[in-house]
Amino acid sequence: MKKLYTLIRRLKITAAAWANRKSEWKEYTPAQKKIFESLHPGDLVDAWMPLCEEELIMIDADHQHRVYLIAEVREKSVLAYAGTSQIDKYPDWMKVILPASRYHVWKNGCILLDKTVELSVNCLISRLDDASEVTLREADRRIRMINAQSGKQLPEFGTCMTVRTGDILRKDGQYYYVFGIDERIHTHHLHPTAREKDLLLRTPAGSFVAEVHKDISFPADTVFEPYYACRESENERVAYLKRKYTSGKHEKIQKHYYTHDVGEYFMHPESGEKMIYIYSSNGRDYGVSEKDSNDPQIRRIAWEYDRCGNSADDDLITDILNRLIDSNTSRWGWLDELMVWE
């Protein structure tokens, strides 16, 4: 009965709070105004959670306020990333650590970087410190990767980009895995895919074919878009694939992969010629012209061809694959793996 009474009471409080909620539930004090006027992106503050009083009283007193990392100062509010002491609850890609000894907070914690909250002036309690350059660089690494993967536009802190071994970088629509850094950045080309079995690197950011048999190096000042920071297990996977390839066991490793659905149509914008996608290799797409489907010849699908958004029917694709295999089994025999449609 007591639990039911408590639940009803909380529901009534919440209903009243939402019914009477205003953008600011109390005026700010001169001290809060002074704190607000001193803030810049990169500052750490202690602040009340941006909730009205009725909602705050439903939260334990120790958790009603927390550390925030200021990302943007607006006319009457700030955008900030929220902190938490539950470090182990969140994955590395979405947090940056705040050691208590460095930032004079009450316990070790982290800042969550997957979203921002808006804090009005009356939420501010005190300014703690400014985040170090190392912390802001680490935060920017993760924010840029979150933005690249999700399409969000979370605010950054404007630090220089740092590239590390194990990073997946994006440049001109292509993906690269960094395996070494000296005077140059040494990478393996990656191809997003969901089909390839060999040379496959699976990450939370997607699955990739890793071309570990080829090294591609870039000047150290090359501008990339950071996409993902591989975990230890994922770096070990790449190392395993390299050992597998260099140990002489690579005769079964296929150098073809699939970046589109087999059978997808591509059309030339001027001639109207339609190409039927078959496979990809070395960063290029290959297919068969629809008009040559009775005597198919594999051709590169040039960059100017546009995706049509539809595919050839299964019977036509099967017929093309059979004709290719029959024309040269030693070269196209591997295409029989495509006969089992998913």
Chain segment 60-70, per-residue pLDDT in tens:
656 678 899 99
**What pLDDT does 334 receive?**
66
* CATH top class, domain 29-150: mainly beta
Confidence class for position 250, pLDDT limits 50, 70, 90: very low
pLDDT in tens, 146-203: 999 988 899 999 998 888 999 999 999 899 999 998 889 999 999 887 665 556 788 8
Provide the pairing of β-strand 264-267 with 274-281: antiparallel
Asked which of 54-58, 120-124, 254-258, 295-299 is least confident by mean pLDDT, the reply is 54-58
Q: What is the pLDDT of residues 104-145, one digit of tens each?
A: 566 788 999 999 999 999 889 999 888 888 899 999 999 999
Going by pLDDT thresholds of 50, 70 and 90, the confidence category of residue 74 is very high
Q: Is the pLDDT of residue 16 over 50?
A: no
Q: What's the rounded Cα separation, in Å, for the pair 107 and 317?
A: 62
Dihedral sign (CA 276, 280, 283, 288): negative
Distance CA 256, CA 306 (A): 21
Greatest extent of the chain over all pairs of C-alpha atoms, in Å: 84
User: What one-letter code names the amino acid at 314?
Assistant: D
Written out in words, the top-level CATH class of the domain with range 167-252 is mainly beta
Nearest to 203 by CA among 171, 241, 242, 234: 234
The structural domains of the chain, with segments of one domain joined by +, span 29-150, 167-252, 264-339
Q: What is the pLDDT of residues 281-340, one digit of tens each?
A: 766 788 999 988 888 888 888 877 888 888 888 888 888 888 888 877 656 666 665 654
pLDDT at 340: 46
Q: Would you give the distance in Å from CA 216 to the centre of its chain?
A: 23
Q: Which residue type occupies 317?
A: I
Strands 77-84 and 124-130: unpaired
Q: Report whether pLDDT(20) > 70.
A: no
pLDDT at res. 58? 60
Long-range pairs, 298-307, Cβ under 8 A, ≥24: 298/324, 298/332, 299/275, 301/266, 301/275, 301/277, 304/268, 304/269, 305/266, 305/267, 305/268, 305/269, 305/275, 306/266, 306/267, 306/268, 306/269, 307/260, 307/264, 307/265, 307/266
CA distances to 138, 189, 255 from 173, in Å: 24, 12, 20
Write out the DSSP string of 114-163: S--EEEEGGGEEEEEEEPPHHHHHHHHHHHHHHHHHH--------PPP--
pLDDT digit string, tens, across residues 188-242:
999 887 665 556 788 888 888 888 888 899 998 999 999 999 988 888 888 888 8
Per-residue confidence (pLDDT) for residue 253, from 0 to 100: 45
Q: CA dihedral defined by 144, 145, 150, 152, rounded to 10 degrees?
A: -10
Can you read off the two tokens belonging to residue 81?
């990333």
At 110 the three-state DSSP class reads: strand
Domains 29-150 and 167-252 share a fold: yes
Least confident of 172-181, 199-208, 243-252, 260-269: 243-252
Q: What pLDDT was estimated at residue 206? A: 84
d(CA 288, CA 202): 30
E strand or H helix at 337, and its extent? none
For residue 45, give Cα distances in angstroms to 30, 32, 69, 311.
Answer: 17, 11, 7, 55
